[in-house]
């Protein structure tokens, strides 16, 4: 795993430790302030560390991300490999041993993980994971118990399951599945591409989709069991009693965009 630098710092100086190496111009890397863009440093933890890895990546290699309490940001670009940055914060240096960072390549793909030992879910043991990847990278599974996930410019496949917290996605395409248990899902400027799909689900919270322009071809299915459906794209609705449904067939009716909420509103907007 390489050297891990552990330092005790005052809470007001934690952010100064979260600096990154810049990527080459032909392979854009992560910005130096990437962690501060995800969430502010906590005042409670007084021990932190960080690691940085460059991982070679063959085309089509599956990538899996697992974390317990974490903020995750993934940005696609024209780079050929993965740049992985992991920062951890905990009350004491000893606590850092309870959720070790893992970046490994196996025959079945790449795994990036910061999972608490013994199925722990201590909110004081927090990680921040930043990944710069090829836009065509295949994120087979992103599994986070609590935190937030932010995705940008991923064009092949991504599958996210976040139990507590918001998911923000911009510029996605391909086969996309985003699910938040208690939180929200916000999707902006996504393309519905041939052979792809867009499946979004929230158990408790709002679901919002914004298109730069209305898709020419799509099958839109929306249902909320306790909430409203509002759409700039005309939908055939059933909203008098029980669950609210909305649907539309545009052009060829492919691909499918499925929006599913148990408790919360669904909003579809198109930029004018």
Q: What integer pLDDT is reported at residue 241 of this predicted model?
A: 75
DSSP letter string over 7-72?
EE--GGGGGGG---PPPPTTS----TTHHHHH-PPPSS--EEEEEEEEE---TT-EEEEEEEEEEE
Q: Which pLDDT score, from 0 to 100, does residue 30 have?
A: 64
Token output for 83: 């740049």
User: How much is the pLDDT for 242?
Assistant: 80
| pLDDT tens, N- to C-terminus, the chain (272 residues) | 443 333 333 333 333 333 333 333 445 666 655 555 445 544 454 899 999 999 999 999 999 999 999 999 999 999 999 999 999 999 999 999 999 999 999 999 999 999 999 999 999 999 999 999 999 999 999 999 999 999 999 999 999 999 999 999 999 999 999 999 999 999 999 999 999 999 999 999 999 999 999 999 999 999 999 999 999 999 999 877 789 999 999 999 999 999 999 999 999 999 96
pTM for the predicted model, two decimal places: 0.84
Integer Cα distance of 145 and 148 in angstroms: 9
Instruction: State pLDDT tens for residues 151-183.
Output: 999 999 999 999 999 999 999 999 999 999 999
Those residues with Cβ within 8 angstroms of residue 31's Cβ, 6 or more apart along the chain or in another chain: 20, 37
> How far is Cα 33 from Cα 56, in angstroms, rounded to an integer?
24
Q: How far is CA 149 from CA 34, 167, 226, in A?
A: 13, 5, 25
Whole-number pLDDT of residue 272: 67
Phi-psi region of 147 (alpha: psi -120 to 50; beta: other; left: phi over 0): left
- Read off the DSSP letter of residue 141: E
């Amino acid at each position: 795993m390489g050297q891990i630098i552990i330092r005790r710092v005052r809470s007001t100086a934690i952010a100064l430790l979260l600096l990154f190496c810049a990527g080459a111009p032909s392979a854009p890397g992560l910005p130096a302030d990437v962690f501060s863009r995800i969430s502010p440093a906590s005042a409670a933890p007084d021990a932190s560390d960080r690691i940085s890895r460059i991982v070679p990546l063959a085309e089509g290699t599956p990538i899996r991300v697992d974390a317990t309490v974490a903020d995750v940001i993934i940005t696609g670009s024209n780079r050929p490999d993965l740049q992985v940055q992991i920062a951890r914060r905990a009350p004491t240096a000893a606590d850092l041993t309870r959720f070790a960072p893992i970046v490994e390549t196996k025959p079945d793909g790449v795994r990036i993980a910061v999972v608490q030992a013994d199925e722990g879910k201590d909110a004081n043991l927090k990680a921040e994971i930043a990944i710069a990847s090829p836009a065509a990278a295949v994120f087979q599974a992103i599994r986070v118990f609590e935190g937030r996930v932010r995705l940008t410019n991923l064009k092949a496949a991504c599958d996210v399951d976040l139990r507590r917290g918001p998911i923000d996605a911009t510029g996605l395409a391909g086969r996309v599945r985003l699910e938040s248990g208690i939180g929200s899902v916000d999707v902006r400027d996504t393309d519905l591409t041939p052979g792809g799909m867009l499946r979004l689900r929230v158990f408790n919270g709002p679901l919002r989709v914004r298109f730069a322009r209305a898709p020419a071809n799509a099958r839109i299915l929306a249902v909320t069991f306790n909430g409203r459906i509002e759409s700039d794209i005309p939908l055939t609705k059933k909203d008098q009693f029980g669950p609210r449904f909305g649907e539309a067939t545009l052009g060829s009716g492919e691909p499918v965009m499925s929006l599913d909420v148990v408790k919360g509103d669904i909003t579809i907007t198109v930029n004018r």
